[in-house]
Structure 1
Amino acid sequence: MREPGKGTSICGAATPEMVDQFRKEEEAARVSADGSSRRSVPMPVQLSASASSSGLLPPTGSKASSKKKKQSGILESFRIELRQMADAIIARMFYTGGVPFNLARNPNYRAAFNFVATHEMGGYTPPGINKLRTTLLQQEKTNVEKLLEPIKSTWSTKGVTIAADGWTDSQRRPLLNFIAVTESGPMFLKCENTEGKAKTKEYISALLIEVIEKVGSKNVVQVVTDNAANCKAAGLIIEAKYSNIFWTPCVVHTLNLALKNICAAKNDEDENPELKWISDIAGDALQIKNFIMNHGMRLSMFNSFSKLKFLAIADTRFASIIVMLKRFLLLKDSLIQMVISDKWRTYREDDQEKANFVRQKVLDDYWWDQVKYIIDFTDPIYSMLRAADTEKPCLHLIYEMWDSMIEKVKTVIYRKEGKGPLDESEFFNVVNDILQDRWLKSNTPLRCLAHSLNPRYYSEQWLSEDPNRVAPHMDPEISEERNNCLRKLFPVTEELRRVKQQFADYSLKRGIFSLPDSIDDRAHFDPLQWCSDEYLTGPTQMWDVGGDGFETFDGVSILQAANLTLDEPEFEVMIAEDD
């Protein structure tokens, strides 16, 4: 084009007539675009002439009662039309803006319209995009920070746990979240975009140190991360820098790694032969799922037999293999009906070998028994993972929960193999070695101290439930780790000696702990309710490192309604049954 300064060179083949024609076409296109953007689409509901005329609507505060009664029917009809028009406008806002329908469940959605409708706000216009993303956003942020101040004020007395966890957003950006956790609940601190940066121990520890300094190093009790080598090394750097802070590996991540070790991948050179059948079953289930889901015709056939769907579970999901096999058991009847149906027999697919494999496995009762067995003996591990994967404080419960979990796994395996308590099971020995190895790698002095401070574990009721149980102060491993923890928390010799004396009175039921009610209540009260005022004041007040406001996970079925990081097939079962 012959337009100098526009970043294009002059075309020698363009004549003045051609340039003029181009300009006319450009102008016509601009006018057409402007016209289409301003085009008004008729509403599905139309107001009558009477309803659209505000002068015909009687005032709300009219004093003429007789006239009001005569016009009440007309007034009500006008209001119905106006309400229908308001509904149509709001609905169009949802449709044209791509707003999720779930917004209608937001209580603030109704509150906003109710507020405007019940107040005299003639000429009110809602805030625009600039006001929403600047002034009002800053106003809401300031209000939230003000509401969080009471929680922050407890940090110096109750202590804080800093939790760090990585995730990937919808744009595939690697993000690292930092959250402060207290007995009042979690509080988001910051999110760091780690894109293009090496996640070395130095980089992670620098981010943690920044957060710790923001919260106050004297307020922080522990830092929780996953069990990756770089995170562990970063945790050790934190412990070396701050004498009062512990690094604690995430127990949920530890349990997930244990499940992955048990359900090892196929064709792993180091795979234990005792576990190979588990990986074979998991591989078969994955192959069946992919065979059905990766083809439109087969998926349509499956959907005609089942209201429930297969779960597309990412490998990063906790207990992903167990969740997948749980869903398979729920789909068992539907899969069997599909492969024995006329549709399956008449369907012709190029890969008949895979189709025969799917049919053979689905109709194999022994294969389904193996799936059920995997779910049964891993259920104690999965249940503990779910129990720990909530906001419920559980630091003081982990030690005992892990021991109980192993015993429950042993019970299921021995019952399946028909063995007695004194018999040996090669399969259980392999599973037990994995669980014990993971525990040894993740156990910390802080967990042993929290376990030692739970009064329930000193009660006769708890000790009598299992002849192998001993009180925490009688366990050599727990005692050693507890003393290591106390030495770090109380570096001053005089304070440490006083704390040890208090713990001796506590564990041996002496002094104020010797009262009959105090001894009897150990089995029934949670730690905070049971402990004396002396425990809650002075240098021992931060022993409450876990925010232990709960004693046990009895009644853990309520977790089905919790906001977990797991896919929960039970929800879809209920939905399908309701349909």
Structure 2
Amino acid sequence: MASSPGPDIILPLSSQKHDPAWKHCHMIKRADRIHLRCMYCHKLFSGGGIHRIKEHLACQKGNASSCPKVSMEVRRAMQQSLDGVVMRRRKKQKLAEEVKKLNPVKPADTADGHSEAEMGLQLVAMPISVEPEAVQLEKREEEVVARTHERKRRRAAKNLSPPLKENGFARANLGEQWTEINGGPLDAVNSAHFQPMIDAIAAAGPSFKAPSYHDLRGWVLKNSVEEMKATVDFYKETWTRTGCSILADEWTTEADQTLINFMVYCPEGVMFLKSVDASQMVTSADALYELLKLVVEEVGVGNVLQVVTSNTETHALAGKRLTETFPSMFWTPCASRCVDAMLEDIVKLEPASIILEHARSITRFVYNHAEVLNMARRFTDGKELVRPGRSPSDTTFMTLKAMAGLKENLSSMVGSEEWKNSSCSKNEAAAAMTELICSPTFWSSVDSLVQLTDPLVQVLRMVDSIKRPAMGYIYRGLHRAKEVMRRVLKMKKDYMPYWNIIDWRWHKELPRPLQAAGFFLNPQFFYRIKGEVPNEIMTGVLDCIERLVPEMKSQDKINKELTAYKNATGISGGRWRSGPGTPCSPIFASPFGNSSGEWWSTYGGGCPNLARLAIRILSQTCSARGCERSRIPFEQMHSQRKNHLEHQRLSDLIYVRYNLRLQQRHLLKNRQTDPLSVDAISGVEDWTVERTGLFTREDDESNWVELIQPTSSSEAAHTDEDDALFSAEIDDEEYDGCNKEEEEEDDDDDVKQEMYGFVKEEE
């Protein structure tokens, strides 16, 4: 192609350019002709329009050459767009055929002898009927719907041979129908039961008849209840050996009702027991005590080691009365709520609050402009900046950690020509975001805050773990968090505010006999203590022996076996102190592996009484937090207007649904989420929702249809990393007097650097 005189002029795109391919090309004016140029390989196209560019970016052989430099994400997006065009064209043709079949047009001459075809006019012949027009219209619509469903059924039968996952058309058809079914929830595809359901339907073939409304409310629900009870009975059989914890997960509905979901935890799994409307009970310690007492009696006093509830003063009073009535168990406040409160207190401190507000200003801008979000996803290879967590604190610090890991990608983005040429980069908010991303001081402070809080976030996620009990790990986890804070900040005056937060919450809200005993009975940690065992730990162990083993003879035997355990004698001899690769190393035996408990089962034969106690203590959880409750009809069941029989049915439905959800939590490690989704918005609004007046919207043409589809699962990177949480690197220095709270100031000059107030240079 001969070159034309004069420079190329890049023309602005009008608001009518909605095709996603326009985001990946430039409109060039060369002399008197308009060309399109690929943004990646710079190939010039003089014909074919945006469709030709799309084929080029999708590397689709045929009318256009393939782009050698396009990323896989863009390539997939363009292919999906091309598939959508073909699909819409087919649907349009099919619809026209259906209308033609439904209303056949017969040629008829007009009054002047000319046919309608000759006149360029075609009238649709309407059947003669005495029925009202609205009735006729309704019947015609019903016929079209019936024909459409029959056509889809036949098409599904033809598509059964290839696997469903390889049939893009079938997948689109399924998605379309799913959204038509009562507004089917899109995140239902994350259920572990969704794909097996699709497989079962596909295997049954086109003759399969779906269960009716009454089938689902009748025999299907009855069978599900019986199957769930059989699973729960299996859990109950283990309670005698491992004991169990009663969990009271308290929450407030949109109607301001306070509900408590009671669950029972054991290493084999968590079972949902029942849901109670406690709106009139949570303000009365006496009423709450009576409720907890009934649940303990229902589960069995001899099986229960602890009752875990919220940590309010009312709950503490009710818990104290409960342990007076049942002296063989503990009342324990929820550890995950306690650690959450620690993180929330840290967020309120000025250095952290400033850093987080600056970080949020970046994500709010990115997630409210389609062009910027697409650009960010390209530069981060599809990784999301915002990471929805199980709590607002989890979301906050997981997102900050993700941003710290992607700082080079973000810097490359704002330094690219694509960003500089973008219309979104021209306003004041974009300039502020660019300045932050290019600021070494900002990223240095982000890195320090992540280092400071990450061990505490790990404790939060550890106590919420569904894979193994956390009782043997939380004590060590909190001490490790404090030690990391001391190492990061170095100066006592800098780290003591954070230590004070942890100590105040820990001592005020988290009584520690079980946690201290869990640390002592976990050989992975106990044999790394240097010097004498701290008094706090031994006091917790003795409290547990006194409360959990009422018989004096058994207590005496355990006290003797404690000496053998502390001296590492009687079982495997000196090998107990040997370090990694010996019996001290964690043993993971099952999906809900109880590492320390399994160690005692294997090596505790010489201390049988202590081993039985250790297994029961180390088999407990620290958190009362359940799983998500969306689309489970708790509020309907607790409504004042309900039929008695329907209330029973709803109760059974909730029993099945919530238990199924509890069982499949460990299968959702790779579930797909989108920070913009309404399913995630309740936890990420601080990071994705613009503040009023923060950004101008007058000239913004952002539209969700322009978004590149996310290609990675934001939860896959951080959901329940159990092995890492429970077997993090052990540092012997942590256990050198692990109850020591006071440190001398470190005058290390190497830490004198400005980091948003974290460490200030000495005068």
Whether the TM-score (by the shorter chain) exceeds 0.5 is: yes
Structure 1 segments unaligned to the other structure (5+ residues) = 1-23, 49-78, 265-274, 415-423, 464-468, 551-557
Aligned counterparts of 1:479 and 1:490: Cα–Cα separation in 2: 16
1:284 and 2:358 matched: yes
Letter of the 1:360 counterpart: E
Identify the match of residue 404 of structure 1 among 480, 486, 490.
Answer: 480
Q: Give the aligned CA root-mean-square deviation in angstroms.
A: 4.6
1:385 and 2:455 matched: no
Aligned counterparts of 2:230 and 2:208: Cα–Cα separation in 1: 29
SS of match in other structure, 1:142: helix
Identify the match of residue 529 of structure 1 among 601, 610, 613.
Answer: 601
Percent sequence identity over matched residues? 21
Aligned counterparts of 1:181 and 1:81: Cα–Cα separation in 2: 45
How far does the alpha carbon of each residue in 1:156-215 deviate from its partner, in whole angstroms, 9 at most, with x for none? Answer: 332111122234679987643222111212122223355687555445444433322221
Work out whether residues 486 and 492 of structure 2, in 8 Å CA contact, stay in contact via their aligned partners in 1: no
TM-score, reference length from structure 1: 0.68
Work out whether residues 385 and 402 of structure 2, in 8 Å CA contact, stay in contact via their aligned partners in 1: yes
Which runs of structure 2 are paired with 1:442-453 in the superposition (5 Å)?
Answer: 442-453=510-521
Which runs of structure 2 are paired with 1:169-318 in the superposition (5 Å)?
Answer: 175-193=259-277, 200-264=284-348, 275-294=349-368, 307-311=382-386, 316-318=391-393
Which residue number corresponds to residue 59 of structure 2? Answer: none
Q: CA deviation at 1:514?
A: 7.8
Q: CA deviation at 1:574?
A: 8.2
Work out whether residues 246 and 264 of structure 2, in 8 Å CA contact, stay in contact via their aligned partners in 1: yes
Letter of the 2:347 counterpart: C
Change (3 A) 1:36 1:479: same
Which residue number corresponds to residue 127 of structure 1? Answer: 211
SS of match in other structure, 2:331: strand
Aligned counterparts of 1:215 and 1:292: Cα–Cα separation in 2: 50
Change (3 A) 1:519 1:183: same
Q: Which has the higher contact order (CA 8 A, sep 6+)?
A: 2
Work out whether residues 546 and 555 of structure 2, in 8 Å CA contact, stay in contact via their aligned partners in 1: yes
Aligned counterparts of 1:436 and 1:198: Cα–Cα separation in 2: 27
Change (3 A) 1:323 1:232: farther
Q: CA deviation at 1:428?
A: 1.6
Which residue number corresponds to residue 698 of structure 2? Answer: none
Identify the match of residue 138 of structure 2 among 16, 29, 33.
Answer: 33
Change (3 A) 1:181 1:298: same
Q: CA deviation at 1:95?
A: 5.8
SS of match in other structure, 2:328: coil
SS of match in other structure, 2:473: helix
1:109 and 2:198 matched: yes
Structure 2 segments unaligned to the other structure (5+ residues) = 1-128, 587-595, 622-665, 674-679, 685-710, 718-763
Aligned counterparts of 2:416 and 2:573: Cα–Cα separation in 1: 71
How far does the alpha carbon of each residue in 1:25-58 deviate from its partner, in whole angstroms, 9 at most, with x for none? Answer: 996535543553343344667979xxxxxxxxxx
Change (3 A) 1:30 1:334: farther
Greater helix content:
1
How far does the alpha carbon of each residue in 1:286-330 deviate from its partner, in whole angstroms, 9 at most, with x for none? Answer: 233334545667667766766444428589424333123223324
Change (3 A) 1:516 1:293: closer
Identify the match of residue 428 of structure 1 among 486, 491, 495.
Answer: 495
Change (3 A) 1:302 1:34: same
Work out whether residues 390 and 562 of structure 1, in 8 Å CA contact, stay in contact via their aligned partners in 2: no
Work out whether residues 517 and 541 of structure 2, in 8 Å CA contact, stay in contact via their aligned partners in 1: yes
Letter of the 1:532 counterpart: G
1:479 and 2:538 matched: yes
Q: CA deviation at 1:257?
A: 1.8
How far does the alpha carbon of each residue in 1:455-484 deviate from its partner, in whole angstroms, 9 at most, with x for none? Answer: 34453xx24xxxxx346xx32112222222
SS of match in other structure, 2:584: coil
Aligned residues: 478
Which residue number corresponds to residue 7 of structure 1? Answer: none
Q: CA deviation at 1:125?
A: 3.8
Q: CA deviation at 1:536?
A: 5.3
Work out whether residues 455 and 477 of structure 2, in 8 Å CA contact, stay in contact via their aligned partners in 1: no
Aligned counterparts of 1:430 and 1:135: Cα–Cα separation in 2: 60
Aligned counterparts of 1:164 and 1:132: Cα–Cα separation in 2: 30
Identify the match of residue 454 of structure 1 among 504, 509, 522.
Answer: 522
Change (3 A) 1:574 1:559: closer
Letter of the 1:447 counterpart: Q
Aligned counterparts of 2:258 and 2:375: Cα–Cα separation in 1: 38
Work out whether residues 286 and 318 of structure 2, in 8 Å CA contact, stay in contact via their aligned partners in 1: yes
How far does the alpha carbon of each residue in 1:225-275 deviate from its partner, in whole angstroms, 9 at most, with x for none? Answer: 3434444343333223321121223333222222222221xxxxxxxxxx4
Which runs of structure 2 are paired with 1:133-172 in the superposition (5 Å)?
Answer: 133-167=217-251
Work out whether residues 258 and 277 of structure 2, in 8 Å CA contact, stay in contact via their aligned partners in 1: yes
Letter of the 2:584 counterpart: A
Change (3 A) 1:126 1:250: same
